[in-house]
Amino acid sequence: MNWEELAKDLTLQTDSKIVLLVIDGLGGLPVQGKTELETAETNNLDRLALRGTCGLTDPVLMGVTPGSGPAHLGLFGYDPLRHQLGRGILEALGSDVEVKEGDLVARGNFATLRNGLITDRRAGRIPTGECERLCGLLNAAFASRTDPEITLTAGKEHRFVVRFRTAGLADALTDADPQKDGKPPIPTAPLAPEAAKAAAVVNAFLNDVIRILKAETVANAVLLRGFSVQPSIPGLPDLYKLRPAGIANYPMYKGLAKLLGMTTYKVGTETADLFAALEAHYAEHDFFYIHYKKTDAAGEDGAFSAKVRAIEEIDSFIPRIEALKPDVLVVTADHSTPALMHGHSWHPNPFLLVSPTALPDGTGVFTERECGGGLLGRFPSVNAMPLMLAHAGKLKKYGA
Amino acid sequence: MNWEELAKDLTLQTDSKIVLLVIDGLGGLPVQGKTELETAETNNLDRLALRGTCGLTDPVLMGVTPGSGPAHLGLFGYDPLRHQLGRGILEALGSDVEVKEGDLVARGNFATLRNGLITDRRAGRIPTGECERLCGLLNAAFASRTDPEITLTAGKEHRFVVRFRTAGLADALTDADPQKDGKPPIPTAPLAPEAAKAAAVVNAFLNDVIRILKAETVANAVLLRGFSVQPSIPGLPDLYKLRPAGIANYPMYKGLAKLLGMTTYKVGTETADLFAALEAHYAEHDFFYIHYKKTDAAGEDGAFSAKVRAIEEIDSFIPRIEALKPDVLVVTADHSTPALMHGHSWHPNPFLLVSPTALPDGTGVFTERECGGGLLGRFPSVNAMPLMLAHAGKLKKYGA
């Protein structure tokens, strides 16, 4: 019996409300003795910490740096070592490509084909506008076809996402990418009998592209990697009997929310837009996932001060959540992104939970080091969901 | 390899003695800033905390509120997500019904049957004396039968426990209970082929009851729920080579102890009786489970002050344990029962361990929040048993 099995038995549908604010990449490392979070002035978060219970969470395993996929899966109670989101699916979500059950998606590159060899796997990093033109051209050529339905969505430079829609597709496929320049293009091959149809569909597509692009000289072939179908993950409504909302202004997080059965809304690009959406839809849901991206973006850029400012910005919106009086309020992160490291890291996430049934632990400052002394101790992110549900009165007793 | 497998290899039979005092439902939540345990004057427990190592334990998973069954299984080192005790078994243990391997037990209600319909599933909540009379009547009617042997034990009001004893019974059975008034009685149905005989035995019993009680007007049928056979759990002697004693004055905990292979004794209803039994049988055993119920009972009643007094009462008996000089003394709880919540909760249990090999962590007050700062940190209850055995010198090295 694991948590996901237990959850189906124990969860109760109630009117209580949970707000989960994910400050992406929040945790950091010291520069001049203080982390980004220790440097930032966060009066509102500090006040919450004093009222609540704190701890530190490990997204996957101590020492393991997670991508956004596993880091978020853990937060929503899905064991990130059992469930995986294919690279293609994440790229599709991040590109705002709508993915339905049964769709097959992959990441694509435009490439240069000369005398039967791939001479440049990135087609000289063609400008994004050129990528958009080529995707448009291919989409027009495939438009008359309804089975399989094929759609390309342009990304930056030579990158795109392709979606195949027809019955019977599977993603046990090898990458259709020679990996090195100077080699002939290679077709995909099925890794399991049930992927035979998908391989045939993809390989026909690869040949069609070469035919359609024969007048092009720079970008006249495509390489595909990371084939994925939508994973069969039970949604939050099924697993927890929640009516969840995902409030994010970056496509990938919106897509992730949708994939997990959350209702998503059109949200503007400003931070205030997240909270306007929360307020507008507060009556309709009992679980709210709010995703704030700027901290992670600054961390990835190695911009310590920008990350400090991003933390101070999100801190200033805390009173708007408090004003709604949720039964449970959790502020945490999916993973750490220390500016010092210019990327995701394995460091644990500060975690704070406020609710009438939370034992205040006297943590008066919301930082990595203070949270380390909190009553929740250090725990796997995957335990956050049972904790939130318990404090919201949404979990029955286990066993007699 | 899990702990249970490891335990068979690593445990040693030695003369050292372990005393585990379980203060049922000990953990609480603040009223006027302090929990029950923080409010209570506990000089003896505080002194132990200063000499020992402290921590907080989660009975099942963070956020999951356990029943008494899973909470105790965890404390004795059985993964409560792998082992489960059926409702019927716990009810039988709680009613002092002796259960042997192969017995099938269930919770029963007397009900009112009129014109082929159950018109009252609780037979108007007949007085307990009436329930005893009816159980006696049925037991007398079944007394001549030896295969199956059928015994009813009266509970409060309309409730009883029934035990079927014959070869080949299994508990994969649906409840024989229409769940709502105004419906005909329903037989049990086997959920697996091996339960076919049990279903036949139970259904014959249900018909016999109606025949035997045909002169009754209020309570003239029975409904049965929670069929369970004794679970196949290895006992503490098998698993750990212990000679364990279970000292409890409530039938359910005594029954649980017996189920796990502990020797149990007739213990009076006073708290002092627990310690008299401990002293009387101290020479005969190397592991002592002492169960104190009053804290949980007060918590369930929402009686904050009564819980404080119960904590102070058990604190006053600590010197009697110390006088025996056990090699390892652990004081903890099975689960929390905050008076504020009028019931079991998921909050972690204060845990303290005193032994010559325990590193004192300076916890000078035995409370939820102080234990949170202890050296043991926050850990699953299922780790308590290996810790106790280790400190008692009863665990060999693992691996070369």
Q: What is the reported pLDDT for B134?
A: 97
Reported as a pLDDT band with limits 50, 70 and 90, residue A283 is: very high
pLDDT at A93 over 90: no
Among residues B371, B374, B391, B375, the alpha carbon closest in space to that of B287 is found at: B391
Q: What is the reported pLDDT for A95?
A: 83
Give the 3-state secondary structure of residue B180: coil
Q: What is the reported pLDDT for B26?
A: 98
CB contact under 8 A, A3 and B62: no
Higher pLDDT, A183 or B156: A183
Nearest Cα of chain B lies from the Cα of A238 at a distance, in angstroms, of 19
pLDDT at B110 over 90: yes
Quote the tokens at residue A185: 């293009």
Give φ, ψ of B273 to 5 degrees.
Answer: -65, -30
pLDDT at B231 over 90: no
Lowest mean pLDDT among A78-82, A93-97, A343-347: A93-97
pLDDT at A91 over 90: no
pLDDT at B111 over 90: yes
pLDDT at B121 over 90: yes
> Which H helix or E strand runs over B331?
strand B328-332
pLDDT at A215 over 90: yes
Mean pLDDT to the nearest integer, A59-71: 96
Give the 3-state secondary structure of residue B183: strand
Q: What is the reported pLDDT for B175?
A: 94
Residue with tokens 């009643």: B301
Nearest Cα of chain B lies from the Cα of A104 at a distance, in angstroms, of 37
Portions of chain B given CATH number 3.40.720.10 = 3-84+234-391
Mean pLDDT to the nearest integer, B236-264: 94
Q: What does the alpha-carbon distance between residue B73 and residue B66 come to, in Å, rounded to a whole number?
A: 10
pLDDT at B222 over 90: yes
Q: What does the alpha-carbon distance between residue B170 and residue B97 come to, in Å, rounded to a whole number?
A: 18
Nearest Cα of chain B lies from the Cα of A52 at a distance, in angstroms, of 13
Reported as a pLDDT band with limits 50, 70 and 90, residue A280 is: very high
Mean pLDDT to the nearest integer, B48-60: 97
Mean pLDDT to the nearest integer, B210-223: 96
pLDDT at B280 over 90: yes
pLDDT at B349 over 90: yes
Mean pLDDT to the nearest integer, B112-118: 95
Give how far Cα A345 sits from Cα of A45, A59, A81, A342, A349, Å: 23, 10, 17, 9, 10
Q: What percent of chain B has pLDDT over 90?
A: 90
CB contact under 8 A, B341 and A357: yes
Q: What is the reported pLDDT for A85?
A: 86
Per-residue DSSP letter, B249: S
Per-residue DSSP letter, B157: T
Quote the tokens at residue A389: 């549900």
pLDDT in tens, A182-211: 999 999 999 999 999 999 999 999 999 999
For chain A, the distance separating the N- and C-terminal CA atoms, rounded to the nearest angstrom, is 16
Mean pLDDT to the nearest integer, B371-399: 97
Quote the tokens at residue A344: 């995701």
Reported as a pLDDT band with limits 50, 70 and 90, residue B197 is: very high
Reported as a pLDDT band with limits 50, 70 and 90, residue B146 is: confident
> Which H helix or E strand runs over B159?
strand B159-165
pLDDT in tens, A172-181: 999 999 999 9
Q: What is the largest CA-CA distance in chain B?
A: 73
Q: What does the alpha-carbon distance between residue B106 and residue B209 come to, in Å, rounded to a whole number?
A: 15
CB contact under 8 A, A359 and B369: yes
Reported as a pLDDT band with limits 50, 70 and 90, residue A251 is: confident
Q: What is the reported pLDDT for B246?
A: 97
Task: Identify which of A361, A376, A396 has the shortest CB distance to residue B369.
Answer: A361
Quote the tokens at residue B275: 């310690």
pLDDT at B87 over 90: no
Burial-class residue A312 by CB neighbours within 10 Å (0-12, 13-18, 19+).
middle
Q: Could you tell me if A150 and A142 are in contact, meaning their C-beta atoms sit under 8 angstroms apart?
A: yes
Q: What is the reported pLDDT for B88?
A: 84
Burial-class residue B322 by CB neighbours within 10 Å (0-12, 13-18, 19+).
middle
CB contact under 8 A, A397 and B66: yes
pLDDT at B169 over 90: yes
Q: Which CATH superfamily is domain A3-85+234-391 in?
A: Alkaline Phosphatase, subunit A (3.40.720.10)
Task: Identify which of B29, B65, B82 has the shortest CB distance to residue A398.
Answer: B65
Nearest Cα of chain B lies from the Cα of A275 at a distance, in angstroms, of 28
- Can you say whether residue A173 is alpha, beta or left, with left for phi > 0 and alpha for psi between -120 and 50 degrees? beta
Higher pLDDT, A11 or B250: A11
Strands A287-292 vs A18-23: parallel, antiparallel or unpaired: parallel
Portions of chain A given CATH number 3.40.720.10 = 3-85+234-391
pLDDT at A248 over 90: yes
Q: Which CATH superfamily is domain B3-84+234-391 in?
A: Alkaline Phosphatase, subunit A (3.40.720.10)
Average pLDDT, chain A: 95
Burial-class residue A303 by CB neighbours within 10 Å (0-12, 13-18, 19+).
middle
Give how far Cα B314 sits from Cα of A66, A116, B55, B309, B324, Å: 48, 85, 20, 9, 16
Q: What does the alpha-carbon distance between residue A285 and residue A288 come to, in Å, rounded to a whole number?
A: 7
Pairs from B37-40 (Cβ < 8 Å, separation ≥ 24): B37/B311, B37/B350, B37/B366, B37/B367, B37/B368, B38/B365, B38/B367, B38/B368, B38/B369, B39/B304, B39/B308, B40/B308, B40/B309, B40/B311, B40/B312, B40/B315
pLDDT at B86 over 90: no
Q: What does the alpha-carbon distance between residue B384 and residue B365 come to, in Å, rounded to a whole number?
A: 20
Q: Could you tell me if B352 and B20 are in contact, meaning their C-beta atoms sit under 8 angstroms apart?
A: no
Among residues A254, A249, A228, the alpha carbon closest in space to that of A93 is found at: A254
pLDDT at B156 over 90: no
Mean pLDDT to the nearest integer, A371-394: 98
CB contact under 8 A, B64 and A386: yes
Reported as a pLDDT band with limits 50, 70 and 90, residue B94 is: confident
Residue with tokens 């506990």: B42
pLDDT in tens, A306-322: 999 999 999 999 999 99
Q: B interface mutation test: which of A51, A354, A375, A379 has the most B CBs within 10 A?
A: A375
- Chain B residues with beta carbon closer than 8 angstroms to that of A395: 63-65, 346
pLDDT at A127 over 90: yes
Q: What percent of chain A has pLDDT over 90?
A: 91
Mean pLDDT to the nearest integer, B116-137: 96
Reported as a pLDDT band with limits 50, 70 and 90, residue A380 is: very high
pLDDT at A357 over 90: yes
Q: What does the alpha-carbon distance between residue B372 and residue B349 come to, in Å, rounded to a whole number?
A: 10
Task: Identify which of A360, A398, A400 has the shortest CB distance to residue B64.
Answer: A398
CB contact under 8 A, A388 and B62: no
